[in-house]
């Protein structure tokens, strides 16, 4: 009698152990399954900046930065999720870790480097003043008394603030680069001050004219990350490979970026 009770106890114990093992296994299988799903890479941009980032007629993101981000995510085994925001809010989104990276034609300037980390640079563009085709404004001196539009949070905002004192113009700040073009066309600003690569695209598309800013030598564009992000090294490795294999050059050709 005694021994059959102890046998039963042993049996019950074994069943309990097996059940526990079973449930551990099950959890293990579940977590393996979710590891098998692709990790998500959250990117933010400001899709108002062709040919780097904009939306097609269906509202899908397109441009050099979008293609580049997809290549990088693919290489590193991530699923890319893109969030559109105002350019002015991008650095804050990185600082608060709301997103993992930013591709937005963002110049890797020293001030931003205090708050975010940058990859190696992938493109360099100068600055340009853009105006209507019948405008008499053809150099910095002619800006006296005029209204110059810039996008908030850009290095051009800062540049225009500095130049405005010397050349005597007023600076109007808007939060979307596309609005600058509307502002020119509706005579609410005389000139827009922006990245040359983007400005030349608008010149062709909208029949505008422009002149280079001879005073600037802005830093190249790079991918931005939260400070200390481990992604920087991985992404730099991928950028190097994509450059060596000619894939980045293919994208430059596709989006007709100047060298
Ligand atoms: N390159 C300039 C900067 O870093 C302007 C970038 C604006 N980008 C945009 N997606 N609107 O400040």
- For domain 127-212, the CATH class is alpha beta
For residue 4, what pLDDT is reported?
Answer: 56
- Regarding the beta carbon of 222 and ligand 1, being less than 6 Å apart is answered no
Percent helix, strand and coil across the chain, each rounded to 5? 45, 25, 30
What is the fold of 39-124+219-254?
Answer: D-Maltodextrin-Binding Protein; domain 2 (3.40.190)
Q: How confident is the model at residue 3 (pLDDT cuts 50, 70, 90)?
A: low
Mean pLDDT confidence for 234-256: 98
For residue 25, what pLDDT is reported?
Answer: 40
Q: What atom of ligand 1 comes closest to residue 65's alpha carbon? A: 10
Residue 188 clears pLDDT 70, i.e. is over it: yes
Q: What is the mean pLDDT of the chain?
A: 89
- Regarding the beta carbon of 157 and ligand 1, being less than 6 Å apart is answered no
Q: How confident is the model at residue 5 (pLDDT cuts 50, 70, 90)?
A: low
For residue 227, what pLDDT is reported?
Answer: 98
Contact present, 136 and 112 (Cβ < 8 Å): no
Residue 214 clears pLDDT 80, i.e. is over it: yes
CA 192 to chain centre: 22
- Regarding the beta carbon of 54 and ligand 1, being less than 6 Å apart is answered no
The string of pLDDT tens digits covering residues 94-109 is: 999 999 999 999 999 9
Mean pLDDT confidence for 42-61: 98
Q: Which range is least confidently modeled, 18-27, 222-231, 246-255? A: 18-27
Closest CA to 62 of 207, 255, 235, 199: 255
Mean pLDDT confidence for 197-201: 96
Q: What atom of ligand 1 comes closest to residue 106's alpha carbon? A: 4
For residue 140, what pLDDT is reported?
Answer: 96
pTM value? 0.85
- Regarding the beta carbon of 48 and ligand 1, being less than 6 Å apart is answered yes
Q: Tell me how far CA of residue 13 lies from CA of 9, 23, 24, 206, in angstroms.
A: 6, 15, 17, 80
Ligand 1 pocket mutation pick from 103, 115, 195 by most atoms within 8 angstroms of CB: 195
Closest CA to 215 of 162, 170, 154, 146: 162
Closest CA to 122 of 67, 202, 44: 67
Q: Are strands 78-84 and 147-151 parallel, antiparallel or unpaired?
A: unpaired
For residue 259, what pLDDT is reported?
Answer: 72
Residue 129 clears pLDDT 60, i.e. is over it: yes
Q: How far is the CA of 218 from the centre of ligand 1 (A)?
A: 11
Residue 34 clears pLDDT 90, i.e. is over it: no
For residue 38, what pLDDT is reported?
Answer: 84
For the CA atoms of 219, 225, 226, 231, the dihedral, rounded to the nearest 10 degrees, stands at -140
Residue 171 clears pLDDT 70, i.e. is over it: yes
- Regarding the beta carbon of 49 and ligand 1, being less than 6 Å apart is answered yes
The boundaries of every CATH 3.40.190.10 domain in the chain are 39-124+219-254, 127-212
- Regarding the beta carbon of 155 and ligand 1, being less than 6 Å apart is answered yes
Ligand 1 pocket mutation pick from 89, 105, 155, 173 by most atoms within 8 angstroms of CB: 105
């Amino acid at each position: 009698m005694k021994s059959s009770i102890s046998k039963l106890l042993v049996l019950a114990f074994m069943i309990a152990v097996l059940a526990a093992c079973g449930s551990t296994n099950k959890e293990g299988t579940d977590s393996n399954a979710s590891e098998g799903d692709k990790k998500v890479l959250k990117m933010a941009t400001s899709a108002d900046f062709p040919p780097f980032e904009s939306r097609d007629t269906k509202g899908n993101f397109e441009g050099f930065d979008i293609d580049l981000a997809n290549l990088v995510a693919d290489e590193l085994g991530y699923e890319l999720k893109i969030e559109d925001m105002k350019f002015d809010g991008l650095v804050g989104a990185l600082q608060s870790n709301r997103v993992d990276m930013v591709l937005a034609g963002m110049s890797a300037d020293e001030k931003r480097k205090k708050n975010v980390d940058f990859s190696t640079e992938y493109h360099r563009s100068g600055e340009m003043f853009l105006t209507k085709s019948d405008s008499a404004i053809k150099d910095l001196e002619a800006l006296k008394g005029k209204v110059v539009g810039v996008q908030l949070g850009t290095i051009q905002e800062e540049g225009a603030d500095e130049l405005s004192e010397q050349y005597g113009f007023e600076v109007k700040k808007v939060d979307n680069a596309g609005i600058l073009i509307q502002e020119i066309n509706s005579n609410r600003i005389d000139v827009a001050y922006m990245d040359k690569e983007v400005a030349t695209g608008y010149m062709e598309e909208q029949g505008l004219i422009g002149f280079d800013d001879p005073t600037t030598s802005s830093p190249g564009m790079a991918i931005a990350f939260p400070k200390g992000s481990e992604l920087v090294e991985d992404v730099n490795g991928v950028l190097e490979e994509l450059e060596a294999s000619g894939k980045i050059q293919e994208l430059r050709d596709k989006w007709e970026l100047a060298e």
